[in-house]
Amino acid sequence: MLYVVAWPVLAEADDTALRRLRAQYHPREADLIGPHFTLVFGAPLTREAELRASVAGLAGMRPFWFVLERLVRHDLTPPSRAAYLYAVPADGAAELTALYDDLNPAPASEPFEPHVTVGLFDRAAEAEQVARIVERQHLPMHGRVEELALLRREGEKLESLATLRLGS
C-alpha cells in the first residue's frame, strides 16, 4: 500500500511529548512511523507513478505553520468499543486539506479531517480520559510542515519512495 504524509516539524519538547504519547498509546504504529499527517491513505501500488508525479507537482507550495489545539476521539464501529485519539490542527488545516484534495482526485467515503494520531484505545472512555490530561499538559503545539513523503508499506516495513521539500 502507498501513503503520502506531511512531516511536522515541532519544537523539541512538543516533538518529544508527541512521540512519547504515541509510543505509549499507539506502540505498533509508533515503532513504524513518527508523528505525521496522512494525506493519502492506503492507495494501491498501481498508483505509484501517479502519486510520484502529484507529489512532484506540489514543488511550488510553500512551507506552512500549524497549531494542534485540541484532541478528537473517533469511535470505531460497534461492536468494537475501541477509539482513536487524534490531535487536530486549527491553523494549517486549510493547507493540509488542500494538499489532500490535490492528491486524492476521487471523493472519499468520509470527509477528510487533518490529524496526527495520538493513540488507539480499547475503550472510548479511556481515550476521553487521556484526552483531558493531554490537552491540559501538552496543547497547544505549534509546528511547521516543510516536507512531504511518498511511502510504501509492506507488512511491518515502511519505505520512503520520494520526498519533497516544500518551497524548493
Q: What is the dihedral of CA 138, 139, 144, 145, to 10 degrees?
A: 90
What does the block give as the cell for 34? Answer: 513518527
Inter-residue contact 73 to 131 (CB < 8 Å): yes
| 123-144 per-position pLDDT tens digit | 999 999 999 999 999 999 999 9
pLDDT > 90: what percent of the chain? Answer: 88
Average pLDDT of every residue of the chain: 94
| Secondary-structure percent of the chain, ordered helix, strand, coil, rounded to 5 | 35, 40, 30
In what helix (H) or strand (E) does residue 31 lie, and over which residues does it extend? Answer: none
Give pTM, 2 decimals.
0.93
Main-chain dihedrals φ then ψ at residue 152, nearest 5 degrees:
-120, 130
Per-residue pLDDT tens for 37-94? 999 999 999 999 999 999 999 998 999 999 999 999 999 988 888 999 999 999 999 9
Helices (H), 26-69: 27-30, 48-56
Domain 2-165 in CATH: superfamily? Cyclic phosphodiesterase (3.90.1140.10)
Question: In angstroms, how far is the first alpha carbon of the chain from the final one?
Answer: 27
